[in-house]
């Protein structure tokens, strides 16, 4: 094999068509030129519908336009032939030698194959997970973690400078509810008979934190409540409001009775839950560069400054004692409160301050990964950014549907307050990190995902992660039996790879860098998972029909070169998704 610069076929073909357009119709240089990968081999390796787009403006039949384009096109060193198909498709066929040559690029680049300079070193922040630190991460959070981590890896691979960030919601009512819940359990340990509120945090982890406080401090934080909790039903909206109001009264009394000690309880539960979540994510292969505290926005005055800026730009008004942002001016369905009549800022206010901070840090692009239930939140955040004069085009929102876990065919609840949820670590322990990471990105992020626990644990071809990893292990086994240095394969004569299955596999390897670039452009890690599953499928068919360690040395080396390249691409793709590429299964 002769090593040269790896070609970008789509870019090269685009230039060919641009040259042809300059000859035929200079005004059409602005025309978008798209290429697709035909499903049928007889329709070429790439297909272009440019002739059909130009037919009307040129007042000609599409097939006639296709003929004109082909005749005006410069000669390409990569093309075997060009044909006109159907109503006017231009089908491009790569030379077999060009496909074979690609094995050289794969083996030469190794773990870097598929990487590009698409991002040009631009700074991107990807903020994901950002779950309230009020309890263990559950399987729903796991999908956002897998998606965000995989997306960050993909963006890094194509040349962006990526910052992975977790926004810690450590301010506000939910943290107060967790602190109260833990303190009430602590009072129980001190002998106080408490009717634990049904709308407080119920999980066993709350009791565990209370036990730790009691073990360390005994009755130091014990106080007799004057307002004992009542079990208020939440069967209807009115009773639910009463229950929430009671919870707020209990929080007020806890703060009054504990005084300065309240901060200890709140900081203790925050630290415990934050560390638990951090450890869980690290074990899941999800690492963050920055953990950004919501509290810091209040302490630094950033939230107050954000509201002041909006006020200065006349985007706020007062109503019923509260301050409202005119978000309807920016396409939102209604205006939003940013500061309540009691002077407290809303969650939306701190979100505005947080996004101001993001823009001021100088990122070229900002990607927020949100749960799909936050879809309605997009217009108000975008509106605030526009109102403050920032470039809203820099902000992209990637929505992630929560995954629904099915165990033995039964849907499992995931309510954090009720405590009836399946923790992410439980899922990981049961199916393994690899299966969890792969299953989470098997569908487009904004599509509903049913996580089939039984399938994820199965060792069968129906399990997609097992199927892909098994392909990698199979190739390793063959190369291990061969027993020689893999680097010598780069000099093999691969012109013997001419069967239909081999040529199809070669084209599949050619597609990989483009799939990575597309996944980055469309923020779609699932494209990598789909590709790996398809590549594994083609390889398994080839493996079952082919002998590798044959007496004919040239053909043996050619086939080993092909599967070594396949193994490399499988490993590169799996690692990008945070999944191991095992040598043995």
DSSP-assigned letters across all residues of 25-54: -GGGGG----EE--SSGGG-SEEE-HHHHH
- Summarised one tens digit per residue, pLDDT across range 261-295 is 999 999 999 999 999 999 999 999 999 999 999 99
Instruction: Give the residue from 17, 79, 15 showing the smallest Cα distance to 48.
Output: 17
Residues in the chain, total: 585
Does 1 score more than 50 pLDDT? no
| pLDDT at residue 418 is higher than 60 | no
Q: How many CA atoms lie within 13 A of 497 on its CB side?
A: 30
Contacts of 15 (CB under 8 A, 6+ apart): none
Token pair in block for residue 172: 């506000």
C-alpha span between 176 and 497 (Å, rounded): 67
What average pLDDT does range 120-132 have in this prediction? 97
Rounded to an integer, what distance in angstroms lies between the CA atom of residue 283 and that of residue 275?
12
pLDDT value of position 232: 52
Q: How confident is the model at residue 14 (pLDDT cuts 50, 70, 90)?
A: very high
Position 414 scores a pLDDT of 52
Give the separation between CA 74 and CA 76, rounded to whole angstroms: 6
Q: Does the predicted TM-score (pTM) go above 0.75?
A: yes
Inform me whether the pLDDT recorded for 326 exceeds 80: yes
CA distance 438 to 455: 12
Contact residues for 326 (Cβ-Cβ < 8 A; gap 6+): 315, 316, 317, 335, 387
Greatest CA span in the chain, whole angstroms?
92
Residues 221-261 pLDDT 10s: 999 988 766 655 555 556 667 888 889 999 999 999 999 99
Asked whether the predicted pLDDT for residue 358 surpasses 80, the reply is: yes
Q: Which domains does the chain have, with CATH numbers?
A: 9-94 (3.30.1360.70), 99-118+461-576 (1.10.730.10), 173-274 (no CATH)
């Amino acid at each position: 094999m002769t090593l040269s610069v790896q070609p970008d076929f789509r870019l090269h073909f685009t230039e060919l068509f641009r040259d042809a357009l300059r000859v035929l119709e200079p005004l059409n240089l602005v025309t978008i030129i798209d290429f697709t990968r035909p499903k049928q081999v007889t329709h070429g390796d790439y297909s272009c519908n440019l002739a059909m787009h130009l037919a009307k403006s040129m007042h000609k039949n599409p097939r006639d336009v296709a003929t004109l384009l082909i005749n005006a096109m410069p000669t390409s060193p990569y093309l075997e032939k060009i044909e006109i198909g159907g109503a006017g498709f231009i089908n491009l066929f790569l030379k077999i030698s060009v496909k074979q040559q690609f094995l050289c690029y794969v083996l030469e680049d190794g773990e870097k194959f598929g990487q590009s300079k698409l991002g040009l070193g631009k700074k991107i922040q990807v903020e994901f997970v950002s779950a309230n630190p009020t309890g263990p991460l559950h399987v729903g959070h796991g999908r956002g973690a897998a998606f965000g981590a995989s997306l960050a890896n993909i963006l890094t691979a194509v040349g962006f400078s990526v910052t992975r960030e977790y926004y810690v919601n450590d301010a506000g009512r939910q943290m107060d509810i967790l602190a109260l819940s833990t303190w009430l359990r602590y009072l129980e340990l001190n002998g106080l008979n408490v009717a634990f509120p049904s709308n407080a945090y119920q999980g066993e982890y709350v009791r565990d934190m209370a036990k730790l406080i009691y073990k360390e401090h005994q009755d130091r934080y014990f106080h007799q409540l004057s307002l004992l909790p009542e079990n208020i039903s939440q069967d209807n909206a009115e009773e639910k409001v009463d229950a929430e109001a009671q919870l707020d009264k209990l929080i007020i009394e806890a703060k009054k009775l504990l005084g300065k000690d309240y901060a200890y309880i709140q900081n203790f539960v925050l630290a415990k839950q934050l560390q638990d979540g951090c450890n869980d994510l690290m074990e899941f292969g999800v690492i963050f560069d920055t953990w950004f505290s919501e509290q810091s926005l209040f302490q630094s005055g950033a939230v107050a400054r954000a509201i002041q800026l909006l006020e200065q730009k006349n985007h706020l008004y007062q109503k019923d004692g509260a301050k409202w942002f005119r978000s309807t001016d920016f396409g939102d369905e209604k205006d939003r409160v940013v500061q309540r009549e009691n002077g407290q800022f809303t969650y939306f206010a701190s979100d505005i301050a947080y996004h101001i901070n993001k823009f001021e840090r100088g990122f070229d692009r900002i990607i927020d990964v949100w749960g799909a239930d936050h879809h309605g939140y997009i217009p108000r955040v975008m509106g605030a950014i526009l109102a403050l004069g920032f470039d809203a085009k820099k902000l992209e929102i990637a929505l992630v549907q929560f995954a629904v876990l099915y165990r033995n065919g039964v849907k499992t609840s995931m309510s954090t307050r009720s405590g009836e949820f399946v923790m992410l670590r439980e899922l990981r322990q049961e199916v393994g990190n690899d299966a969890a990471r792969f299953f989470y990105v098997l569908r487009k992020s904004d599509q509903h995902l049913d996580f089939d626990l039984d399938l994820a644990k199965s060792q069968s071809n129906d399990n997609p992660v097992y199927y892909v990893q098994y392909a990698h292990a199979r190739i390793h086994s063959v190369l291990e039996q061969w027993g020689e240095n893999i680097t010598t394969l780069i000099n093999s004569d691969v012109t013997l790879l001419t069967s239909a299955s081999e040529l199809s596999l070669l084209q599949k390897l050619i597609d990989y860098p483009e799939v990575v670039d597309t996944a980055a452009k469309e923020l779609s890690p699932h494209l990598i998972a789909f590709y790996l599953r398809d590549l594994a499928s083609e390889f398994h068919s080839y493996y079952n029909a082919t002998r590798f360690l044959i007496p004919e040395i040239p053909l043996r080396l050619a086939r080993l070169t092909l599967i070594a390249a396949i193994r490399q691409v499988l490993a590169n793709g799996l690692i990008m998704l945070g999944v191991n590429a095992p040598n043995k299964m």
